[in-house]
A and B are shown apart, each in its own frame.
Chain A
Amino acid sequence: MTGRYVGRRLLQVLPTVAGIVLVGFLLIHLAPGGPIIALAGDSGDEEYYAFMTAKFGLDRPLPEQLATYAGNVLRGDLGVSYIQGRPAIDVIAERLPATLLLAGTALVGSSVAGVALGAWAAARAHSIRDLAVTSAALVLYAAPVFWLGQLALLTLALRTGLFPVQGMTTAGGPETGLAWALDVARHLALPALVLASQEVAAVARLTRAGVLEELAADHVRTALAKGLSDRRVLVRHALRRALLPVVTVIGSRPGHLLAGTIVVEVVFGWPGLSRLLLTSVQTRDTPILLGIFLLVAATVVLANLVTDLVYGWLDPRIRYR
């Protein structure tokens, strides 16, 4: 892996993200309906429409609007939300922490738990416990995440009252300090668990298969023959190599994970980006929509890049052009 390779990959990031945002821009502007109608609610006359249309620059030709938008984005300005009248970047930034907390917890938790569970199952391959883990992973991987959420709500929150039903904090509850953190953690547990479950399943299955394959490989047999302990062999030799495809999977998840986050946020009323996304689609709040789109595109593209780089670092056999 050379510096030149990294540089070349980095150079590709910008046009890719720009392309994705362009797709979103065209989609929004070619679609019927517009933000003014949403603003007007159930009335408003032609004068109002002309006034608001000019105000947002929506009467300009599409290429001009695009050029203006691109110029502004390069200066770090995502525009002003039509509906809220505040900079889109502020509006998005307010929601981002909640989504990052949920998605991040799920990503980290599922990666750790998935690798651990997969290795654990591989070490006792074909036992009853392995079978249990493998089957559970298979089913979890097939179950739609909104359904898991509904089931979790029904069983863990509604029936037993173990977990709060909705939101990220208790209304009127503590607003700072440890008490607040615990309140958030308590609300976070269920949505994060549901969101993570599918990722755990994917990662665990892959890790188990990878470790099994590596355990059968020559250098591991050699290591075992040299008298190294089982655990050392598993961790040092098998797991490290088996992690290669796992890294690919984890690195490819952010797009998938964000999609899952949207649905989970809806089920659990989590105050993150998804609610902003869905209402902004309804109200045609273009600056917000494109801002979220930009964020998602950048996340996915960068995660891809990082995955490739980590992959190269884990497996020195791979030579990049």
Chain B
Amino acid sequence: MGRGWAGWLMLLAVLLAACTGSEPGTTESPTATRAPSPDATATATDTATTAAPTGEETPSPTQTAAGGGTLVVAISSDPGGLNPAITTSGGTHTASELLYNGLVDLGPDLEPIPELAESWDVEEEGALYRFHLRDDVTWHDGEPFTSADVKYSFEEVLLQLHSRTQASVGPSLESIETPDEQTVEFRFSQPYAPLLQQLNVTEAPIIPRHIYEGTDPLENPANNEPVGTGPFRFVSYTPDAEIVLERNPDYFEEGLPHLDEVIMRVIPDEGSQVLAFEAGEVGWLWGVPGPDQERLAADPTVEFLQTPVNPGGANCIMTVSFNLERPIMADLRVRQAIAHALNRDQFLERVLFGQGQVAAAPISSGIPWAHAEGLDMPANDPAEAERLLDEAGWQREGDGTRTAAGVEGVDDGTPLAFTFVHFPTFSAYGELLRAQLREVGMDVTLVPLEPPVFAEQVFTARDFDTNIISYCNATDPEIGVRRMYHSSNIGEVPFSNAAAYRNDEVDRLFDEAQRTIDLEQRGALYRQIQEIAVAELPYFWIVETVGTRAYRSSCSDFQPSGHFAKTASCEQ
């Protein structure tokens, strides 16, 4: 009569056999070697290495960096495709930027440095850019790279499908000429200052014309078997599981890359990514969830790299937008009260677990020449918030929600209640904001919406009172800041001027900054803009977010950019 029990046991036995039986065969070292490099100095696995922690500073490239090794990288979503030219999706860019190049790269201070273009001339006060391309670059399939690839990538792909490049470069670009195979000229209808900030692999990856021409770039099979010029080349792509890249032996930058292989592994949950990292299944994390940071930091074999640069956008500020078309939010005193009621340190501490910094100005500190110092940002002061609300006609009885008594455009007795629209991933911001504003008598209703619905509700229907958006300032205010304030950006385009802010002076200053080439002069113009913005508060800038990368100390020399593994190497 023991048949049921026996069956159950057998099932268990099979499962147990399956897991124990496989153990000898599957070591979990992320640095499993395929081709051991002769100059590897250590053979210890990463967990056995006991290098001292070096803190969070960017490791400087060293001469002693040994070559070889495999790096397993955790990515949080399936990229859906590996062509970074047709999308701004962070998932696609994370997984594919190592395969491609831009005309220029950006250095630590966002200065343009040569990549596919070895030099460039800026003429006609910034209306003509002439790039001289390297002549030693080949695509991964052996075809030579030429100026025709650049012209094709921009005209047929980037300016059609890459939404950021399309929106920023597109409107003022007149033509792209290729006088010869190694020269490309960009001609603008008027001086265009920020171009060099928009040509890296994130903003303008160059894709091969000989593979894409005459096809629909969105549906070309090469999107899943990419051919690029980048430091690594494609090996295999298993959707929702892993992407394997290998060293490009013909890479044009001398001696790079060092790693033999990069494997990207899809692990959607960030907590699970950490677990996989700790188990040695993964050797690089794009982000470390706050609560896990402390534990990882205590491990001497774990290194961190903090950077404001992300493949999806750089220098992002979590920003609360006020819908200035709504009577409640049209009153400056209410906006000031909200700003005073918010404890931004608590956001930094409890939502971001200290990763990042409280925003000190409307423009990110990651663009130092444009970021204004010493602005008079509203400080956390609940008493001042209550005073402003009293003054604005929002009366409070007891501890409850305030009600209107003589507020312009609002019926008396209306409660001070409003919506806060946010992506589901930003719900912690909403929950903390709701709690803090409740203390001064405001009733906030959270409306979490998936990105497409969010965009439609906020920018098309304009049905919201307040919201939070991660506005990425990118590498130049022209790319990521102008869209928030210029009145021409009020409309249906997502993530533009959410507040519906109009100020002729601000418009004029932005237009002037766009035509100004000299950085110092541009910086002065942006300072004026920021002073006006802080005084009028169409937005309130909460925290500047940074990405915290984590890796094992057996690896070194990573970069913060999308080409993060180009210079890296791991001990065998």
Determine direct contact between A and B, CB below 8 Å.
yes
Chain A interfacial positions (CB closer than 8 Å to B): 31-35, 37-49, 51, 55, 80-81, 83-86, 91, 94-95, 98, 109, 112-113, 115-121, 123-124, 157-158, 161-174, 179, 182-183, 185-186, 188-189, 192-193, 230-231, 234, 266, 269, 271-272, 275-276, 279, 281-284
Report whether B223 and A85 are in contact in the complex, using a CB–CB cutoff of 8 Å.
yes
In the complex, which residues of chain A have a beta carbon less than 8 angstroms from the beta carbon of B568? none
A109 to B14, CA, bound (A): 11
Report whether B80 and A83 are in contact in the complex, using a CB–CB cutoff of 8 Å.
yes
- Residue in A32, A158, A170 whose beta carbon sits within 8 Å of that of B456 in the complex: A32
- Residue in B22, B240, B452 whose beta carbon sits within 8 Å of that of A275 in the complex: B240
Report whether A38 and B451 are in contact in the complex, using a CB–CB cutoff of 8 Å.
yes
9 cross-chain CB contacts under 8 A: A33-B454, A33-B457, A37-B456, A48-B160, A49-B492, A171-B72, A189-B18, A275-B78, A281-B450
In the complex, which residues of chain A have a beta carbon less than 8 angstroms from the beta carbon of B219? 80, 85-86
- Residue in A116, A120, A183, A269 whose beta carbon sits within 8 Å of that of B269 in the complex: A269
- Residue in A32, A179, A186, A192 whose beta carbon sits within 8 Å of that of B457 in the complex: A32
A314 to B128, CA, bound (A): 82
A157 to B170, CA, bound (A): 52
Chain B interfacial positions (CB closer than 8 Å to A): 1-8, 11, 15, 18-19, 21-22, 25-26, 28, 30, 32, 70, 72, 77-78, 80-81, 86-89, 160, 163-164, 166-168, 170, 216, 218-220, 223-224, 238-242, 261, 263, 265-269, 272-273, 275-276, 279, 281-282, 312-313, 449-457, 461, 472, 483, 491-496
Report whether B267 and A163 are in contact in the complex, using a CB–CB cutoff of 8 Å.
no
In the complex, which residues of chain A have a beta carbon less than 8 angstroms from the beta carbon of B239? 91, 94-95, 271
Report whether B26 and A41 are in contact in the complex, using a CB–CB cutoff of 8 Å.
no
A241 to chain B, nearest CB (A): 17
A159 to chain B, nearest CB (A): 12
Residue of A nearest to B479 (CB): A43
A109 to B15, CA, bound (A): 11
Report whether B22 and A42 are in contact in the complex, using a CB–CB cutoff of 8 Å.
no
Contacts A94-B238, A117-B5 supplied; 12 other A-B pairs, CB < 8 Å: A32-B453, A34-B452, A42-B494, A51-B160, A85-B86, A86-B81, A112-B11, A113-B8, A119-B3, A165-B281, A167-B265, A185-B19
In the complex, which residues of chain B have a beta carbon less than 8 angstroms from the beta carbon of A55? 218
A182 to B22, CA, bound (A): 5
The 6 closest A-B pairs by CB, nearest first: A120-B4, A116-B4, A44-B163, A33-B452, A185-B18, A182-B22
In the complex, which residues of chain B have a beta carbon less than 8 angstroms from the beta carbon of A117? 4-5, 8
Residue of A nearest to B242 (CB): A171
In the complex, which residues of chain A have a beta carbon less than 8 angstroms from the beta carbon of B275? 157-158, 165-166
Report whether B1 and A230 are in contact in the complex, using a CB–CB cutoff of 8 Å.
yes
Q: A179-B25, A179-B26 are in contact. Are A85 and B218 (CB under 8 A)?
A: yes
A120 to B6, CA, bound (A): 10
Report whether B7 and A46 are in contact in the complex, using a CB–CB cutoff of 8 Å.
no
Report whether B87 and A39 are in contact in the complex, using a CB–CB cutoff of 8 Å.
yes
- Residue in B18, B454, B493 whose beta carbon sits within 8 Å of that of A45 in the complex: B493
A182 to B461, CA, bound (A): 53
A44 to B495, CA, bound (A): 9
In the complex, which residues of chain A have a beta carbon less than 8 angstroms from the beta carbon of B19? 162-163, 185-186, 189
Q: A37-B455, A48-B163 are in contact. Are A85 and B81 (CB under 8 A)?
A: yes
A183 to B241, CA, bound (A): 14
In the complex, which residues of chain A have a beta carbon less than 8 angstroms from the beta carbon of B450? 33, 281-282
In the complex, which residues of chain A have a beta carbon less than 8 angstroms from the beta carbon of B86? 85
Report whether B164 and A42 are in contact in the complex, using a CB–CB cutoff of 8 Å.
yes
In the complex, which residues of chain B have a beta carbon less than 8 angstroms from the beta carbon of A189? 15, 18-19
B253 to chain A, nearest CB (A): 26
In the complex, which residues of chain A have a beta carbon less than 8 angstroms from the beta carbon of B238? 94
- Residue in A47, A121, A171 whose beta carbon sits within 8 Å of that of B265 in the complex: A171
In the complex, which residues of chain B have a beta carbon less than 8 angstroms from the beta carbon of A48? 160, 163, 166-167
In the complex, which residues of chain A have a beta carbon less than 8 angstroms from the beta carbon of B223? 84-86
Q: In terms of DSSP, what is the predominant structure of the interface of chain A?
A: helix
B303 to chain A, nearest CB (A): 20
Report whether A109 and B483 are in contact in the complex, using a CB–CB cutoff of 8 Å.
no
Residue of A nearest to B88 (CB): A41
B491 to chain A, nearest CB (A): 8
Q: Identify the interface centre among B160, B170, B272: most chain A CB within 10 Å of its CB.
A: B272
A37 to chain B, nearest CB (A): 4
Q: A182-B22, A279-B77 are in contact. Are A41 and B166 (CB under 8 A)?
A: no
Residue of B nearest to A84 (CB): B80
Report whether B80 and A43 are in contact in the complex, using a CB–CB cutoff of 8 Å.
no
Residue of A nearest to B453 (CB): A33
B153 to chain A, nearest CB (A): 17
A121 to B160, CA, bound (A): 67
A178 to B2, CA, bound (A): 32
Report whether B494 and A185 are in contact in the complex, using a CB–CB cutoff of 8 Å.
no
Q: A43-B167, A43-B483, A86-B224 are in contact. Are A94 and B240 (CB under 8 A)?
A: yes
A33 to B454, CA, bound (A): 8
Residue of B nearest to A123 (CB): B1
Residue of A nearest to B90 (CB): A41
A61 to B448, CA, bound (A): 29
Residue of A nearest to B91 (CB): A279
Q: Identify the interface centre among A81, A85, A98: most chain B CB within 10 Å of its CB.
A: A85
Report whether A171 and B493 are in contact in the complex, using a CB–CB cutoff of 8 Å.
no
Report whether A169 and B22 are in contact in the complex, using a CB–CB cutoff of 8 Å.
no
A32 to B449, CA, bound (A): 10
Report whether B272 and A166 are in contact in the complex, using a CB–CB cutoff of 8 Å.
yes
Report whether A116 and B5 are in contact in the complex, using a CB–CB cutoff of 8 Å.
yes
Q: Identify the interface centre among B80, B166, B272, B493: most chain A CB within 10 Å of its CB.
A: B80
A32 to B452, CA, bound (A): 8
Report whether B88 and A167 are in contact in the complex, using a CB–CB cutoff of 8 Å.
no
Residue of B nearest to A112 (CB): B7
A48 to B495, CA, bound (A): 14
Report whether B241 and A168 are in contact in the complex, using a CB–CB cutoff of 8 Å.
yes
Residue of B nearest to A82 (CB): B218
Report whether A279 and B22 are in contact in the complex, using a CB–CB cutoff of 8 Å.
no
Report whether A182 and B25 are in contact in the complex, using a CB–CB cutoff of 8 Å.
yes
A174 to B312, CA, bound (A): 32
B68 to chain A, nearest CB (A): 14
Q: Identify the interface centre among B163, B164, B265: most chain A CB within 10 Å of its CB.
A: B163
Q: A170-B28, A185-B15 are in contact. Are A165 and B494 (CB under 8 A)?
A: no
A250 to B495, CA, bound (A): 49
A124 to B1, CA, bound (A): 9
Q: A42-B494, A168-B241 are in contact. Are A161 and B11 (CB under 8 A)?
A: no
Residue of A nearest to B168 (CB): A43
In the complex, which residues of chain B have a beta carbon less than 8 angstroms from the beta carbon of A34? 452, 456
Residue of B nearest to A55 (CB): B218
In the complex, which residues of chain A have a beta carbon less than 8 angstroms from the beta carbon of B451? 33, 37-38, 282-283
Residue of A nearest to B454 (CB): A33
In the complex, which residues of chain A have a beta carbon less than 8 angstroms from the beta carbon of B167? 43-45, 48
A299 to B239, CA, bound (A): 23
Report whether A164 and B72 are in contact in the complex, using a CB–CB cutoff of 8 Å.
no
Report whether A269 and B268 are in contact in the complex, using a CB–CB cutoff of 8 Å.
yes
A44 to B168, CA, bound (A): 9
A43 to B496, CA, bound (A): 7
In the complex, which residues of chain A have a beta carbon less than 8 angstroms from the beta carbon of B30? 171-172
Residue of A nearest to B86 (CB): A85
In the complex, which residues of chain A have a beta carbon less than 8 angstroms from the beta carbon of B453? 31-33
A119 to chain B, nearest CB (A): 5
B32 to chain A, nearest CB (A): 5
